[in-house]
Amino acid sequence: MKNLKNKKILLIICGGVSAYKSLELIRLFKKKDAEIKTILTKNAKEFVTPLSVASLSQGKVYDDLFNVENESEMDHIALSRWADVIIVSPATANTISKLSQGSSEDLASTVILASNKPVFLVPAMNVRMWEHKSTRNNLVKLKSYGYKTIGPIIGEMACGEYGEGKMAEPTDILNEINIFLLSQSNNKKIKVLITAGPTNEYLDPVRFITNKSSGKQGYEIANSLLKRGFDTTLISGPTNLDVDNKINLIKVNTAEEMFKATQKNLPIDIAIFSAAVSDFKIIRKKENKIKKQENLTVNLEKNIDILNYVSNHNFMRPKLVIGFAAETQDLDRNAIMKLTNKNCDWIIANDVSKKDRGFNSDYNEVTIHYKDKKKTKEVLSFKKKSEISEEIVDRIVAQIN
């Protein structure tokens, strides 16, 4: 992550039990040679000490004891201008509420109000507080002002309750900030294209052949990509799924339409092919509905392999090409064959013979095979497709840095 080197991070630590995690966040940023200045709110000092923050960050720590004299050294305007990015971690329900009202009652809120820089909130609170309408409304307001959020995640909280509200893990925060800065430094977002779902190949206006696929895994990957700041295009065959409207969703029916939509979106930085594309299409589709008859012979021809086309495109090959392999036997062997034959950088293989995972299920287990011989295959063990997606996107972020 050379991208974080010398980046100026203004970290605002608020008073919550997760404040200690921000120490780990500082450590991770320092490892990447980022510069850090910190503001501790009055309550934060109940949880972490200015001394520990200062020694870890090797940078200035500010608090509400700032006054006219030391304000001249770095006032609230200068602090906000100094930063490339401002992170509020943990962002408590109280802080979120104050920020949504444009409060400027302490140094932290004043700096944020005076800021012209990207502000990331890392919420951490009890599940009920997180779900409370008042918090939800405050966040809607803050998001409309352009504030971004990282997390929270689902898990057991310090209070013993379980649910959404737990602070995001420091490594995930680091990844998200990194990808954000990366897209900013390129002056454009990194563009990712993902295909998902089945394709339908029509015999006549009402009948088609298709592949079994719900599209869930591909849609989840698209959601995870969007969350990390990628410019995400999802080319999807027919599914019943919805995605965030910030994803550029292109709905198609046939493999040919999927191919044309893909072609139209080249060049692209990263391409992921999770669609279960029908390998065959009907040679002569009938204009009208075919009438019932004793026997029907249908002639099929091979569809173009979209993945193969993209991965072998001489001058428009994406930097990273990821294929999927849905297999019912010889999982590893077949996947490795596809990795080579289709000129992919990675192949993500899943066993579709088991009932509790894969097709239509919300769960999956996958194995990632890499072209890079230095990397050994990785198994992402049985878990929700949304979690598998996060883990896949973690690896994509790590790969491009």
| 159 is an active site residue | yes
The smaller minimum CB distance to ligand CTP, of residues 88 and 339, is found at 339
Which token pair is 193?
């294209």
Q: Toward ligand CTP, which CB reaches closer, 71 or 279?
A: 279
Contact present, 283 and 299 (Cβ < 8 Å): yes
CA angle centred on 38, ends 34 and 44, rounded to 5°? 135
> Looking up tokens 């991965």, which residue turns up?
311
| d(C-alpha 177, C-alpha 29), whole Å | 10
Longest dimension (CA), the chain: 95
Least spacing, CB of residue 26 vs ligand CTP, in Å: 40
Q: Distances from the Cα of 350 to the Cαs of 206, 287, 329, in angstroms?
A: 31, 38, 10
- Determine how many CB atoms are found less than 10 A away from the CB of residue 154: 13
Q: How far is the CB of 39 from ligand CTP (least distance, A)?
A: 47
Residue 24, Cα to own-chain centre: how many angstroms?
22
CB of 382 to ligand CTP, least distance (A): 20
For ligand CTP, give the closer residue by CB, 84 or 305: 305
Cβ closer to ligand CTP: 39 or 255? 255
Smallest gap from residue 326 Cβ to ligand CTP (A): 5
Please state the closest distance from residue 361 (CB atom) to ligand CTP, in A.
Answer: 17
Distance of CA 318 to the CA centre of its chain: 19
Q: Which residue among 140, 154, 158, 159 is the active-site one?
A: 159
- Give the helix/strand (H/E) hosting 180: helix 170-185
**Closest distance between ligand CTP and the C-beta of residue 349, in Å?**
9
In 3D, which of 121, 168, 167 has the Cα closest to residue 16? Answer: 167
CB 82 within 8 A of CB 10: yes
Nearer to ligand CTP, 152 or 237 (CB): 237
Q: Which residues of this protein are in contact with ligand CTP, per CB under 6 A?
A: 195, 255, 273, 275, 277, 279, 303, 305-307, 323-326, 338
Rounded Cα gap, residues 401 and 395, in angstroms: 10
Which residue number, 48 or 352, has a Cβ lying nearer to ligand CTP?
Answer: 352
Token reading at 211: 């592949």
- By annotation, the residues acting in catalysis are 159
